[in-house]
Each structure stands twice: as structure tokens, then as C-alpha cells.
């Protein structure tokens, strides 16, 4: 389904382009000018830095077409209203352009078009290299790319303006930039560039991303997971690798390899890195610590007899890596000049799929990969379609804020007095169990780095299991179903399986009193509704408005039952019902269970405190005839007698309070 796209900073690409074409002038972006403030906020620009356009031939052509030029000693002088204007020379015009025949793309788009440059943004370049391998992804980030391409046959249609799209906090933002790029003293692009000098898509994409984040220097240091989300709108899930366990246990290595294989087959994006105190320090094997690599292929291969004779195994698990620097530094087994490759012909390599496509790519044995790398980031893509196949993730989301004015910033669960003051969002699992993926994303603060406020907040969330009939805010922590980690990242993710029931998610900052905006996303394979709980008490219906107001709140936790069937007899199908006044809540049916684990939590706001709350346990016999009869065991909270003569015990817990906001 098409998604709405928002103009970043109110700049419309099509309106600005048409205005430039009408004036016959190349676009100059007033919101991201070709000045030092667009480059750095701390350090000084290198000496000799200039801003140049890929091509200014159009401007030169317009000057030649104008009848107002006079030639003077090889110089061009413009005359207008009898006043003397600035002096331009053919040499100066050439100095203001980078090349004669620029292109947005040369022979398509690939990972070899990415060389990092002098900026410490390998995290972003690694993410773009993953993006470049999948056309359906980069075409979304570089919209109508054919219309943005230089057209040598129609130079009059070029306006020096480009636009790119990035996903930010649930919205696709369209970012406009001009084509002026920072160039070093020796005439080379200062930052990201292509191996082909006349190709500029990567440099212009980086400029748009720098504008989105405030300036180029704001891209120094970052998290690959953040960039993957910005480029795809997907969900990044970090995987921390236990190198010692993976080294000792082949079954764990195999399980991880199968996970990466499935992820890669689903066209998800994968990056990895080696954690360390010293960033971008080179190890003996040639890999770089603290540097982001992209995984471009995951392959299981069978080796021929030539390799087996050298002592190898018949089957290998392999991964293909890419270094954003465009160099192949890995020196271990299956590196570029290793002896393993000498045993294979080009045809054998192609047959096994062991192909190196681009500069900077290399293959590794998966065992070596597990020995060196410590972190893997998987970006799972989310497709929004009208028809949802069963294996696709469905997404629901809600925006929220940690607000100081409403005391909606209570901190993590360690702060028991204020934790439940945080925003609360409820959802319900209707199946027996459901795999869910919960993602909390905070607003981006990188663009505030100029003001010294660009650090992410430490964030996380708790998932509480609540009463199945709850419809108001949680006032007491009864059962923690899941907890995320807390980290100062733009995104925190938790994936797990939840049982049937109703749940409340509390997104929080680590410390109380910290404010900010966030987006809560929940993914599942079935339809789940997510909504914020705003009221401390449930809203009364029209009928209930005519009745006395509740005076007592009671929770009933029906844990289990036992001994419902005599020994050596087949247990019946059973279910339970909890009744209070005009409300009743029932469990699912437990098949052939004499000792069912109900785990049913209910809450009742009672108008008549002296009225009994009853718990009924029903069993469903299967007689020889077609009709089904129900018999039941009814017990109230003061104890009672069995109407059916069944034996057994029901285990439950209750809690009551005259303060309706206590439970």
C-alpha cells in the first residue's frame, strides 16, 4: 500500500525544481548552504576545501546563448543596464565543476559505488551497501531515479536539485539537496564517493542524510541499526554473539547459521561488527575492530575432491562480507590470496556460488566468522500489502510522549513509586500463543548535536500480563511477562512468544523525569489491536450510569484446578467461568485435563460488595449420542457445595480495595 511522504523542512522538490527551470538558474539550498556550518560544528574544515557542482556546463551554455556578452582578452564580461558585473572566465567555470560528463548512476547501482571518504560514518556506508544490493529498497530511498538522472540531450531540464527519502519515527521524509559537494584540495570528493569518478548517487545520498541529521559531522559515529531503519522503515534486531559458546558448540553455530540463512532469504539486511575499546584498530587477521561490515551472502557449499585432499571438509558454511572502505583486509582462510582458492577453478567457484561481485567483498568460513565477530544486526523488512499472507508480519503502532506536565515520565521499573506513571499501551493475544516483535523508537536527537543535546536517551520497556477484562490503566504490577534491555539507542527491540491473554506495554526512560517523544511498534502474524490506556478507571456505559457507583475493586486470579477426574479415567474437557454481579469471564477449553492450569486474571469494579463472586468449573463429557450436556461445579469465595458431585480443588487468589485506583 502506498505510504504518505512528508516534505522535510517544508521543501517540495517538484515546486523548487520548476521554479529553478523557470528562472534558468541552478538550485542553491538556503536550508543547507555550501558553507562550513553544513560541514562541521566542532572541528575546522581542511585547508583548500571548496564546494563544486558535478557539472556547470549548463550555466556556460546559457552565457553563450545570451546576446549580452562581449569578449575582452579571452575573458567574458556581462553587461546589464549599463552596469559592470562580475568577471567570469572559461577557466573559472571549469574549476567550479567536478567532471565533464556526470551521471547519477553508471551501469546501475552496486556496493562498489561506496567508498567512505574522510568521515567516520562506516555505520551509514555499511547500511547503504546493504541497500544497494536490493533494487526494491534503494528505489524507495532514491525515488523517480530515472527522472533525476543527468540527460545530456536535454541540458535545459537540469536544475541542480535532487531528493531522497528516509524513514523517521514512522514517516517517510523527502529531503531536498542541491548538487554542490565538498571537494578536497586535490580535487577529490571529501566524503562518500563512487569508484567511478563521474557517478554521484552515493555522494548526493550522503549529503541528503547529512542534511536530515544537521550536518556532515553529525554523521560521525553511529549505529548501523539506526541507518538500516532510516533507509527501509524496517525493524532492526541486534544479536549479540557468545564467541566462546559458538567456538565450543557446533550445534549453536549451526543454529546461528540457519537463522542468518532464513533472514537473508527473506531479503532482510544484515551487518556485523567486532566490539572493542579501541575503535577502528586493525587486528592481526586484517579485520577492523569497531568497524561495520555488511553480510551480502550466506552459503552452504560442498567442496570437490581437490580441496578434500588438502585436509578440508566436504561441506562448508560460508558468509560473504563487504568492507565499506572498499578494501579486502581479511587474511585468513578463503581470503583473496589464500591457498583454498587455488584449488578451485573459476567454473567451480561459479557453480558453488562463491562469487565476489564487488571491490571490498570477501568470503569467510562461518567458524572464523563466529570466532572474530561479536555483534550482528538484522533489519527485518515490513511489507504493507492489502492481502496479508500468513507468514508476513502485521504491524500496529502508536505514538506517545514522556511528559513532565502529566507525570508521564516515571522511569524504569526500579523506580517503583513512579514506574506506573509512564504511558501504557494494551494489546491482546487471542491465540493459544503468539510470536510478537515489539520495537520502541525514540525521536532522533542527532541533529541537536550542535547545541550539545544530541545524545540518545536510555530507553526500554516492560510487558505486564494483566486481567483479561481490564480496560483502564494498571495501578499495580501483578505479573511481568517480558522485559527489554535498556540502552541509549534510537531503537530497542524484543522478540518473544506470549500466551493467550491481555498485556500492557510500558515504554520508559531509564531515569524518571526525562521527557521525549517515541513510537511503539508491535508486529505479529495475526491481527492484534494496540491502544493507549489513558484513564485510571473504566468509562461507565450508559446503562451503568443509572446504577450505583462502584465502591470496591476486586481482582481474582484463578490459578488452576486439580483432581477433577478420578484416577485411571480419561479426564474431561473443562473450562472455568468467574462471575461477579452482571459480569462474567470464562477461560478457554482445556482438552482432557483433570488438572487444568487456568492462569486467569480478572478485575471487577463492584457496586454491591456483599454479593458473592462465584467460580464455576465446567466439564464437557462426550456421550454416545449427538447432544452435548454441560455439568458444572460452582463454588463461591466463602466456600460452597458441588452441584454435580464432582470432586477436586480450585486454587485462586483474590485482592480487594475500597480505593478504586489501587489495583
**Residue positions annotated with a catalytic role:** 122, 291, 323
3-state secondary structure of 516: strand
Please tell me what DSSP assigns to residue 401. E
| Residue 141 near residue 131, CB atoms below 8 Å | yes
Q: Express the helix, strand and coil content of the chain in percent, nearest 5 each.
A: 20, 35, 45
Across the strands, what pairs with 239? 376
3-state secondary structure of 202: helix
Residues 6+ apart with CB under 8 A from 449: 41, 214, 217, 218
Tell me how crowded residue 386 is: count the other CB atoms within 10 A of its CB. 5
Burial 202-224 (b: 16+ CB within 10 A, else e): bbbbbbbbbbbbbbbbbbbebbb
| Residue 296 near residue 264, CB atoms below 8 Å | no
Place of cell 494496540: 530
Tell me how crowded residue 357 is: count the other CB atoms within 10 A of its CB. 14
| Residue 366 near residue 318, CB atoms below 8 Å | yes
CA distance 10 to 557: 54
- Residues constituting the chain: 663
Residues 6+ apart with CB under 8 A from 268: 234, 378, 379, 380, 381
Tell me the three cell numbers of residue 328: 579486502
Q: What is the DSSP string of 416-467?
A: TTTGGGS-EEEEEEEEEEEEEEEEEEEPP-GGGGGGT--PPPPEEEEEEEE-
| Residue 333 near residue 368, CB atoms below 8 Å | yes
| Residue 441 near residue 519, CB atoms below 8 Å | yes
Amino acid at each position: 500500500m502506498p505510504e504518505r511522504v512528508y516534505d522535510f523542512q517544508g521543501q517540495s522538490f517538484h515546486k523548487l525544481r520548476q521554479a529553478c527551470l523557470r528562472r534558468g538558474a541552478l538550485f542553491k539550498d538556503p536550508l543547507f548552504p555550501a558553507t562550513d556550518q553544513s560541514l562541521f560544528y566542532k572541528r575546522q574544515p581542511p585547508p583548500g576545501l571548496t564546494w563544486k557542482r558535478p557539472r556547470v556546463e549548463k550555466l556556460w551554455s546559457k552565457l553563450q546563448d545570451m546576446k549580452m556578452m562581449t569578449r575582452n582578452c579571452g575573458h567574458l564580461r556581462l553587461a546589464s543596464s549599463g552596469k559592470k558585473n562580475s568577471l567570469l572566465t572559461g577557466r573559472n567555470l571549469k574549476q567550479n565543476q567536478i567532471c565533464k560528463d556526470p551521471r547519477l548512476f553508471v551501469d546501475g547501482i552496486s556496493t562498489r559505488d561506496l567508498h567512505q571518504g574522510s568521515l567516520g560514518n562506516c555505520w551509514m556506508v555499511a547500511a547503504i551497501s546493504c541497500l544497494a544490493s536490493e533494487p526494491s529498497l534503494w528505489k524507495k530511498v532514491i525515488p523517480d531515479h530515472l527522472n533525476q538522472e543527468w540527460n545530456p540531450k536535454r541540458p535545459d531540464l537540469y536544475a541542480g536539485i535532487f531528493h531522497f527519502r528516509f524513514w523517521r519515527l514512522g514517516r517517510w521524509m523527502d529531503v531536498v539537496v542541491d548538487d554542490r559537494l565538498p571537494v578536497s584540495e586535490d580535487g577529490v570528493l571529501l566524503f562518500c564517493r563512487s569508484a567511478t569518478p563521474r557517478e554521484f548517487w552515493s555522494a548526493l545520498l550522503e549529503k541528503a542524510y547529512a542534511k536530515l541529521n544537521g550536518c556532515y559531522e553529525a554523521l560521525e559515529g553511529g549505529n548501523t541499526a539506526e541507518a538500516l531503519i532510516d533507509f527501509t522503515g524496517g525493524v532492526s534486531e541486534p544479536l549479540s554473539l557468545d564467541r566462546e559458546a559458538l567456538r565450543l558448540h557446533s550445534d549453536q553455530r549451526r543454529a546461528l547459521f540457519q537463522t542468518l540463512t532464513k533472514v537473508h532469504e527473506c531479503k532482510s539486511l544484515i551487518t556485523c561488527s567486532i566490539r572493542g575499546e579501541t575503535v577502528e584498530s586493525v587486528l592481526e587477521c586484517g579485520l577492523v575492530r569497531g568497524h561495520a561490515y555488511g553480510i551480502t551472502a550466506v552459503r552452504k557449499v560442498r567442496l570437490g575432491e581437490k580441496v578434500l585432499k588438502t585436509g578440508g571438509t566436504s561441506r562448508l558454511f560460508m558468509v560473504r562480507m563487504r568492507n565499506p572502505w572498499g578494501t579486502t583486509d581479511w587474511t585468513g582462510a578463503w581470503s583473496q590470496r589464500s591457498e583454498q582458492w587455488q584449488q578451485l577453478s573459476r567454473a567451480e567457484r561459479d557453480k558453488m556460488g562463491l562469487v565476489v561481485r564487488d571491490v571490498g567483498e570477501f568470503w569467510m568460513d562461518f567458524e572464523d566468522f563466529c570466532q572474530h565477530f561479536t555483534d550482528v544486526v538484522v533489519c527485518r523488512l515490513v511489507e504493507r500489502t492489502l492481502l496479508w499472507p500468513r507468514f508476513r508480519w502485521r504491524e500496529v503502532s502508536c505514538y506517545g510522549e514522556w511528559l513532565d506536565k502529566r507525570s508521564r515520565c516515571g522511569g524504569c521499573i526500579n523506580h517503583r513509586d513512579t514506574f506506573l506513571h509512564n504511558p501504557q499501551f494494551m494489546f491482546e493475544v487471542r491465540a493459544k500463543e503468539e510470536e510478537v516483535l515489539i520495537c520502541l523508537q525514540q525521536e532522533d536527537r542527532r541533529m541537536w548535536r550542535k547545541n550539545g543535546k544530541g545524545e540518545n536517551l536510555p530507553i526500554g520497556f516492560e510487558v505486564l500480563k494483566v486481567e483479561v477484562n481490564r480496560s483502564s490503566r494498571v495501578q499495580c504490577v501483578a505479573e511481568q511477562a517480558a522485559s527489554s534491555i535498556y540502552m541509549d539507542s534510537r531503537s530497542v527491540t524484543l522478540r518473544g512468544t506470549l500466551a493467550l491473554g491481555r498485556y500492557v506495554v510500558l515504554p520508559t526512560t531509564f531515569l524518571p523525569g526525562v521527557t521525549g517523544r517515541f513510537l511503539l511498534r508491535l508486529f505479529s502474524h495475526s491481527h492484534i489491536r494496540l491502544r493507549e490506556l489513558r484513564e485510571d478507571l473504566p468509562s461507565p456505559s450508559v446503562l451503568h450510569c443509572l446504577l450505583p457507583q462502584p465502591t470496591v475493586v476486586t481482582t481474582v486470579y484463578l490459578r488452576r484446578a486439580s483432581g477433577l477426574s478420578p484416577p485411571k479415567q480419561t479426564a474431561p474437557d473443562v473450562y472455568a467461568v468467574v462471575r461477579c454481579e452482571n459480569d462474567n469471564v470464562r477461560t478457554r477449553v482445556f482438552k482432557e485435563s483433570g488438572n487444568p492450569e487456568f492462569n486467569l486474571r480478572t478485575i471487577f469494579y463492584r457496586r454491591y460488595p456483599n454479593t458473592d463472586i462465584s467460580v464455576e468449573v465446567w466439564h464437557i463429557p462426550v456421550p454416545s449420542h449427538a447432544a452435548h450436556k454441560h455439568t458444572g461445579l460452582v463454588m463461591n469465595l466463602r466456600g460452597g457445595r458441588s452441584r454435580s458431585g464432582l470432586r477436586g480443588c480450585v486454587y485462586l487468589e483474590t485482592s480487594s480495595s475500597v480505593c478504586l485506583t489501587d489495583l
